[in-house]
Amino acid sequence: MSEFYHRPVLLDECINGLAIKPDGTYLDGTLGGGGHACAVLAHLTRGHLYGIDRDGEAIEAASRRIEESGLSDRFTAVRGNFHDAKALLTELGAARLDGALLDLGVSSHQLDEGGRGFSYHGDFPLDMRMDKSAHLTAADIVNTYSQSELARIITLYGEENWAAQIARVICDRRKAQPILTTAQLVDVIDAAIPKKLRAKDGSHPARRTFQALRIAVNDELEPLERALRDIASLLKPGGRFCVIAFHSLEDRIVKNTFKALAYPCTCPKSFPVCVCGKKPAVRLITNKPITAGETELNENPRARSALLRICEGI
């Protein structure tokens, strides 16, 4: 196994946003390589951090990194999905949190390790599973889903204007031979999108389709709102919840969920007072997302699309 690493994005902004209490209880719901987790643990004296990840390699590498840092006595690793954080934490007796963090992006290791198939650079198996024990792969979707379903996924999860054309070329190509590698899929997308009509921002033409397939393989968006609500419900008064999103679909869900939790009243605006009885569960700390500064962008270009939103339990 290659060394699992993850350059933590918006690290200082997250640590400041969490307003860490030395004796507090915290959750890192997307443990990854343990970069954010180590920074949180460094601020704890009698507190505790629970780290959840569905990727067994991430759990192993982060635990090793935390052990080497001498911080493991305040840390518990949990193999699972942050979508189930409320149940997982309840089982462990951590029913209330002083803070929580989610980094919804794919880790640097997952992108760069060819065998995972997340990257459109190189020629590797078309996998994209964050949890290697899961059954569905990107190759399964590409080679078995109908043309209309492929177009729907690429449109919905990738916001790709050329989704219908890409789906058509996929179905044409797979008749001759299965599409089993990242390079094969990139070749399909290259054939489907006219060069003169591609995005002018320099982004790779396969970026949106790969994003869409990754989201579909890992079921990233459908349970997200429920997961955000569940984790927010665990916050103690004053407990902070930081969420980093990396594309508009995720950020829109985070933004709308935080807003709904902060302003739950359903009364008509004409009513002078609230009569629905719905009380805010959180207070918004950020009205607009925090983005990476120039220094971080120069050191880590992947931070360019990172969007951090923070709320606080009431």
Q: Kindly tell me the burial class for residue 261, based on how many C-beta atoms sit within 10 Å of its own C-beta (0-12, 13-18, 19 or more).
A: buried
**Based on the domain organization, do 116 and 245 belong to the same domain?**
no
Q: Residue 96 sits in a domain of what CATH number? A: 3.40.50.150
Asked if 115 and 205 sit in the same domain, the reply is: yes
- Examine the domain organization and report whether 257 and 213 are in the same domain: no
What's the rounded Cα separation, in Å, for the pair 58 and 38?
14
Q: What is the average per-residue pLDDT within 68-77?
A: 96
For residues 287 and 232, membership in a common domain is answered with: yes
- In whole angstroms, give the CA distance from residue 82 to residue 23: 23
Residue type, 239: G
Between 7 and 185, where is the model more confident?
Answer: 185
The answer as to whether 162 is a domain residue is: yes
* Same domain membership, residue 182 and residue 92: no
> What is the chain's mean pLDDT, rounded?
94
> Which structural domain range is residue 207 located in?
110-218
The answer as to whether 1 is a domain residue is: no
Domain tally, the chain: 2
Whether residue 267 is found in the same domain as residue 244: yes
For residues 168 and 297, membership in a common domain is answered with no
Q: Which of 117, 110, 106, 120 shows the shortest CA–CA distance to 189?
A: 120
- Rounded Cα gap, residues 111 and 239, in angstroms: 32
Q: What is the CATH number of the domain that holds 168?
A: 1.10.150.170
Whether residue 203 sits in one domain with residue 73: no
- Same domain flag for 239 and 256: yes
- pLDDT surpasses 70 at 114: no
pLDDT digits (tens, 9 = 90+) for 244-256: 999 999 999 999 9
Last-in-domain residue among 202, 218, 234: 218
The pLDDT tens digits of the residues spanning 12-45 come to 999 999 999 999 999 999 999 999 999 999 999 9
Q: Residue 2: pLDDT band by 50, 70, 90 thresholds?
A: very low
| Residue with tokens 């030395």, as numbered in its chain | 22
Residues 200 and 226 in one domain: no
Q: Is residue 88 part of a domain?
A: yes
Together in a domain, 213 and 114: yes
Do 192 and 121 share a structural domain? Answer: yes
